[in-house]
Structure 1
């Protein structure tokens, strides 16, 4: 083989090596760019999911805060009116407070039915059932003409309203878990606690 041929082969190998090196470099760069783009897309997706998740949690927190507050206000307003009637007062302001609290609670429940979890709605519906029963009995007591009969009915209303506090505590416990205010339900939590006994006793 002549020197010219050898030189040509060496030169060709050098050129091919240079070209191959450029191709390999470009392929590696493209892969690195693809990996970077994938990582960035995954990061953006994760951020979007986290943002949407936080938005839902905030919406749920606001809803639950209103529902909890209005359930409590409704109960407290009825209790105040019951005690006013029991003392012989004809305070119309207390009666109006009950009506106002009832409307606010009803409106909040309507919103909650669109965003609250099934678990919260189920246990809160038991609270609402007790509140509804208490309201009906309170109105019956308020319309009772006989003083002794009115006192007996009011006492039953007050007893029922006092039992609602425990159930409301269970609702709040579940709400707190769902909005991530706590990591676990308390030991005393019992989702089966309900108004059955109170719904079926005498008026």
Structure 2
């Protein structure tokens, strides 16, 4: 090998190294930019998922509150009717309001069924069953069709 051949090889390697270095630098920069874009997209996706979870929780919570309030109103109205069955004077007609509170309770229970997990639905079903059992009893007692085991005191 001659000196000029070695010089050409060194020059070619120098040029290739310089060009390769530029390409390698661009490749690393491109990968870094893509990684940053991926992190930003993941952060947006995480934020969106958190917002959806927060919204779902708020919806469930609103359903729980509405159901609880409706159940309390329904139960209170049943109590007003038992007072009326005992002959206690009421400032309003408890029987007219009973059907309204029962309907509102049924609507809130139906909405709860669409959003609540099974363990909550199990408890809500128990509340629904008991209140409707009481409703039937006070209605039958008011109509004079009470069953043998049914009484105002039991209601």
TM-score tier (shorter): 0.7 to 0.9
Q: Contact between 1:84 and 1:91, CA under 8 Å: does it hold in 2?
A: no
Q: Distance in 2 between matches of 1:134 and 1:124?
A: 15
Unpaired runs of 5+ residues, structure 1, are: 146-151, 158-203
Mean Cα deviation higher: 77-86 or 22-31: 77-86
Q: Contact between 1:141 and 1:154, CA under 8 Å: does it hold in 2?
A: yes
- Once the two structures are TM-superposed, the CA of residue 115 in structure 1 deviates from its matched residue by 1.6
Runs (4 or more) in structure 1 with deviation over 6 Å come to none
Q: Which residue of 2 aligns with 1:71?
A: 71
Q: Distance in 1 between matches of 2:33 and 2:110?
A: 51
Return the TM-score normalized by structure 2.
Answer: 0.85
- Once the two structures are TM-superposed, the CA of residue 93 in structure 1 deviates from its matched residue by 2.1
Q: Which residue of 2 aligns with 1:42?
A: 42
| Number of residue pairs matched by the alignment | 151
Task: Look up the SS of the partner of 1:109 in the other structure.
Answer: helix
Unpaired runs of 5+ residues, structure 2, are: none
Return the TM-score normalized by structure 1.
Answer: 0.67
Q: Which residue of 1 aligns with 2:57?
A: 57
- Once the two structures are TM-superposed, the CA of residue 155 in structure 1 deviates from its matched residue by 1.1
Q: Which residue of 1 aligns with 2:153?
A: 155
Q: Which residue of 2 aligns with 1:140?
A: 140
What CA RMSD, in Å, does the superposition of the two structures yield over aligned residues? Answer: 2.2
* Structure with max Cα Rg: 2
Q: Distance in 1 between matches of 2:31 and 2:79?
A: 71
